[in-house]
Amino acid sequence: MKNHILAFILLFGLTTTLVQAQNTDSKYYELRIYYCNEGKLDALIQRFQNHTLALFEKHGFENIGYWLPVQNDKNALYYIIASPSKEAHAKTWKDFLADPEWQAAAKKSEENGKILTGIESIILDIADDISPKVQASVSNTDRIFELRTYYCFPGKLPNLITRFKDHTLKLFEKHGMTNFPYWTTVEKDGSQGKLVYLLAHKSVDDAKASFKTFGSDPEWVKARDASEAGGKIVEKVESVYLKGLPFSKIR
């Protein structure tokens, strides 16, 4: 009997290890924000739709999602792509930019003027402990996404991850918010990263209402206060409401 119990324990442990390994996402993610000259956003969208997405995939990028801010006073386009590794990511960018088809498409799209005024690039690691699987998700009903970025006090990012894992994610769902991928940023100077994640809401008004009820939920208040017994965790939060483009795999 003891041998059978021992064998079961070993098998269970091996199975658990394999499941954990399967759930580990080691891809190299990049969030890019493109800022356009006045009147050029449509030209950028058309270039992505007609050329860029297919060329990204041709060279090895995985298209994760493409969105426009709901309040888009900076004429911005947000998107996330992924590669198997840092090295593959760098090579893919090099090959993509050198592709004659891309160069011709870029030149053609800017015959009437330059499209971009600037590009912001943010490298991301999946937050394995808390993130849902990164996968396509297209809703039959309208919804908006909220991209949230948390800046933590020094050394407090692990505390924030733990709070999300133990409390926040399930409370978000309780209050009508849908959890999408969670990442941490990879800072160029090696400093502590930020937590970056996506939530889905029915509308901006629903998002605000959900956060209002979430913020006053006694379970959340108790969890927050307990997690901050050793000091505040979050220094500031940035939030952008986004709407998925028709060709986005997450919309």
Alpha-carbon gap, residue 7 to 13, rounded angstroms: 10
Q: What is the mean pLDDT of residues 152-170?
A: 98
Percent over 70 (pLDDT), the chain: 91
Q: Where are the alpha helices (DSSP H) in the chain?
A: 2-23, 41-47, 53-59, 86-98, 100-109, 157-163, 169-174, 204-215, 218-227
- Checking if the pLDDT of 22 tops 80, the result is no
Tell me, what DSSP letter sits at residue 175? T
Q: Bridge-partner residues for 32, per DSSP?
A: 79, 121
Domain finish residue from 83, 107, 124: 124
pLDDT in tens, 90-142: 999 999 999 999 999 999 999 999 999 999 999 999 999 999 999 999 999 99
Is the pLDDT reported for residue 209 higher than 70?
yes
- pLDDT at residue 13 tops 50: no
State whether 138 and 34 are in the same domain.
Answer: no
Task: Give the pLDDT of residue 75.
Answer: 98
Under the banding of pLDDT at 50, 70 and 90, the label for residue 17 is very low
Quick one: average pLDDT of 58-83?
Answer: 98
Question: Which residue, 98, 124, 150, sits at the end of a domain?
Answer: 124
What pLDDT sits at residue 23? 54
Are 150 and 47 contained in the same domain? no
Confidence class of residue 18 from pLDDT cuts 50, 70 and 90?
very low
Residues with Cβ within 8 Å of residue 66, at least 6 apart in sequence:
48, 77, 78, 79, 244, 245, 247, 248
Domain interval for residue 79: 28-124
- Please tell me whether residues 117 and 138 are part of one structural domain: no
pLDDT at 15 over 60: no
Domain boundary among 124, 149, 165: 124
**Mean pLDDT computed over 171-199:** 98
Check whether 162 has a pLDDT greater than 60.
yes
Q: Whole-model pTM?
A: 0.90
Q: Contact at 8 Å (CB) between 54 and 163?
A: no
Domain count, the chain: 2
10 pLDDT higher than 80: no
- Mean pLDDT to the nearest integer, 27-42: 98
